[in-house]
Amino acid sequence: MIERALRAKNVKAGVRLTVKTLVSAAVVVLAVALPQLVHLAAGPQGGMQWLPMYLPVLLGGCLLGWRWGLGVGILSPLVSFCITSLAGNAMPAAARLPYMMAELAVFAAVSGLFSKKIAENGWMAFPAVLLAAVSGRAFFLVLAAIFQSVSPLSAAAVWSQIQTGLLGLLAQAVLVPFIVMGLGRLLRRESKKQD
C-alpha cells in the first residue's frame, strides 16, 4: 500500500527504500512499546489476552507488503526480547521467542500478501487480517505440536493461549482494517493535494 502511494507520486527508488525502512522501524518500535503499556495497564495476563504486539505487525504487513512485513514480524519480538532483557524482564520469554518470531512472521507475511489489493480496495484489509490471524495462530499450534517433546510449550498450552487471546484477535480484526483504511484515505488525499 505504501509502495503504491510512493510510486504514484513518482518517488525515486532510494527515497522509497528510506520511507519503507522508517515505517518498518516505527512499526517495530510500536510493537515493542505497546505491549509494555498493556502490561502496565492490565498486567501480564493483559498481554496474553489482548496480544498487543500483533496489532503493529498486522499493520506493517498490510501497509508494507509481505517482504517488509516478514521482516517486521521477525524483528518485533526479537527487538522486544533484547530490550526488555536488558531491564531484567524479557518479553517474550526466551522459550516463547522462536515461536513468536515464526508466528508473527506468518501474521505479517499473510496480511502483506493482500497489500496491493488493500491499496485498491481498503475493505480487503478485513479478510487479510482474518486470514493472517488464523494462519499465524495455526502455525504456532503446529510448531508447538511438532516440538513439544523438546520444548516447554505443549500443543495443549498453546491451544489455551490461543483461546485466551481470541478477544484480542477479534478486536484487532476490526481495529486494524479501519486504521489501514484511514491511512489509505490519508495517503490518497495527500496525492490529490500534490496533483
Positive or negative: CA dihedral 11, 13, 19, 20: positive
Cell numbers placing 45: 495476563
pTM for the full model? 0.94
* pLDDT above 90 as % of the chain: 86
Task: Check pLDDT > 80 for residue 120.
Answer: yes
Cα distances from 184 to residues 1, 109, 132, 168, in angstroms, run 8, 19, 20, 24
Per-residue confidence (pLDDT) for residue 96, from 0 to 100: 94
User: Domain segments of the chain: what residues?
Assistant: 2-194
Task: Check pLDDT > 90 for residue 108.
Answer: yes
Measure the CA dihedral 184/53/130/117, to 10°: 30
Per-residue confidence (pLDDT) for residue 191, from 0 to 100: 65
* Rounded distance between C-alpha atoms, residue 70 and residue 43, angstroms: 28
Beta strands in 66-141 (DSSP E): none
**Which residue shows C-alpha cell 495443549?**
156
Q: Average the pLDDT over 28-38 and give the result.
A: 96
pLDDT tens sequence across 126-162? 999 999 999 999 999 999 999 999 998 999 999 999 9
More reliable by pLDDT, 189 or 20: 20
Task: Check pLDDT > 60 for residue 195.
Answer: no
Task: Check pLDDT > 90 for residue 187.
Answer: no
* Rounded distance between C-alpha atoms, residue 76 and residue 98, angstroms: 12
Residue 142 sits at the vertex; the CA angle it makes with 140 and 144, to the nearest 5 degrees, is 70
Confidence of residue 189 (pLDDT cuts 50, 70, 90): confident
CATH 1.10.10.10 fits 2-194, yes or no: no
Task: Check pLDDT > 80 for residue 192.
Answer: no
